[in-house]
Chain A
Amino acid sequence: MKNEKTPEISRRSFLKAAAGAAALSGLTLPKAVHAGGGKQLASLIDLSLCDGCSDREAPACVSACRTINKDTIPPIAEPIPVPWPRKTVEDWSRKREVKNRLTPYNFIYVHQAEIDWNGQKKTVYVPRRCMHCDNPACATICPFSANHKQTNGAVVIDQDLCFGGAKCKTVCPWEIPQRQSGVGIYLHVLPTLMGNGVMYKCDLCNGRLGKGALPGCVEACPRKAILIGPRADIFALAEERATQMKGYIYGKKENGGTSTLYVSPVSFDLINKTMRKKPGQPDMPTGVERRMAGTDPLGKLVLAAPALGIAAGAAGAFKWLSHRKAQMKEGGKDNG
């Protein structure tokens, strides 16, 4: 996985990648790929293809991501300020080698699920990283807008703006973002009173996408199990593959919809049963709700509030004006 710049947009690269995958899985590429796809991207993780790179020391996707991001986190402050009053410090800088969970130094890991499938033992490998949700609370309610959904669909944390309060992690149904204390802007403000580092997670290799290159994990996967492309095309491809394998899709409805679709021959309920939710190791409940949807009704009323106020104010003022008019007339009569 070299960082060479693939010229021009992801479409061509996607075609290449998808064609390879199609060849592997014996599927043909959907026509939709050739039609206009818009700027929004999505990715597909095909669990029927991923073999966890069991022949390698580490999964290729994980290694690629680590190589790309090995210098992402700047040097850590020595000593790391201890926040007040809750004294949580999260320092992964001495445990950078950890690969079996999400950490600030590891944005993707592969879960191994041992499943009883129609009386057979079956191993399913599930690469886990940020889902790049369609309306991600992690981004929309970041108090500093350090986390933002880009127009291409990537949800990206700006490490120069993040205070590391971990709100994004709290509101993410999979608690994806991971904190490294002792880095970031908070060190220059009120380190012990406000903030606690920077949150890190997969950014869909947004920088590489901007240069027309593929995300590292997509490029590195020897089985073409991870694909990226125009959103409509990827969604169509996921449907097609799911139908072909009489399988299941994850990520289409979860958390209100995401731009990462998992396709699997085994149901995600069975896969989820093999997952015990632990820090940095999310589970995978089907249909997990977008909790922020519970604030939408009041949010709509907020947007209507200016009109309500203006209408009430105008009604009140008109009433007063006509009242005065009537008074004036009466006064005039009395006088005259």
Chain B
Amino acid sequence: MAEKIREEKGLIVRHRIVELIEHWAIALSGLLLLLSGFFQMPTANRYYFTSLPGLSWSGDFFVSLNVHYAASILFIAAALFHLTYHGMRGDMGMIPQKGDIKTSITVIKSFFGKGEEPPFHKYLPEQRLAYAGMAFIIAMLILSGLIKTFKNLYAPDMSLTVVLAATWVHNIFFALFVLAFLGHIAAILLKPNRPMVRGILTGSVRLDYARHRHPLWLAEMEMELANEIPAPMEQAPAPAVLLEDPQPAEKVDVIPAPDQETDPSGKKEQS
């Protein structure tokens, strides 16, 4: 199974290596794309970035375009890997669910000391919403970027309507990408979320944190583990795909483990 409890270390595995690689490939190439994309506007020289150490290349549009291309190769490949790989596996943990918007509001209120947080699955409802939002932004950036790249290489006289649409989608979603990135960083900085940072850096989060905040996740995992010992043959592999998010189990009201007070200093993540 993807998630494993390491009682002896007091840790629980939240992300597998492949997911860590996906996240960091997107994150690092995304940052490089923001920077080199910014330099595609004639800003570097005007704002004296070219005089900063290590950024003398920023004023050369062909160098910064090459940097932009290089980063987008990684970015696009990682995004489509993510889509294909998790799509085929049927990983649904980050897909927004019914009621996520309402629950998110409750959760955000609780961040500001109003009311209690509800018990969570592996991902917070706002993480699922943020994921969908970010996925949409990334999809639009990739799509418009591919059109622009194709124009650069093969079709400079492509229909002006298409080029203008691709350009403005790219520019507007560039701005949204910056905002989404800032929002993502802000979410990490929120105290209750901080324990998750460890997850995206090492793959594991503290077990006591998970028990306290993500009891539904642990409950699911236990159910999966029970299912792992397969019933005597017959239809073997197909259901495997459904294991990640067993809807019926959620209806069983799992009582959040009341046993321990979580030390709230820690980290957070999202994907």
Contacts and interface: CB of A to CB of B under 8 A. Distances in A.
Interface in A294-311: 294-296, 298-303, 305-306, 308-310
A318 B85 CA distance: 9
B193 interface: no
Contacts of B83: 309-310, 313
A325 B46 CA distance: 60
B103 interface: no
A167 B156 contact: no
A135 interface: yes
Nearest to B85: A313
Interface in B105-152: 142, 145-146, 149-152
A32 B229 CA distance: 79
A134 interface: yes
B7 to A, nearest CB: 23
Interface of A: 83, 85-86, 88, 134-137, 139-141, 143-145, 148-151, 153, 165-167, 170-171, 291-292, 294-296, 298-303, 305-306, 308-310, 312-314, 316-318, 320-321, 324-325, 328-329, 331-332, 335-336
B160 interface: yes
A332 to B, nearest CB: 4
Given A301-B73, A309-B77, A309-B84, A295 B65 contact: yes
A299 B149 contact: yes
B61 interface: yes
Contacts of A305: 72-77, 80
B contact face: mostly helix, strand, loop, or mixed: helix
B146 A306 contact: yes
Interface in B150-176: 150-153, 156-157, 160, 163-164, 166-168, 171
Interface of B: 18, 40-42, 45-48, 61-62, 65-66, 69-70, 72-89, 142, 145-146, 149-153, 156-157, 160, 163-164, 166-168, 171, 228-230, 232-233, 236-237, 240
A contact face: mostly helix, strand, loop, or mixed: helix
Nearest to A294: B62
Contact of B84 (A139, A145, A313): A313
A336 B62 contact: no
B236 A329 contact: yes
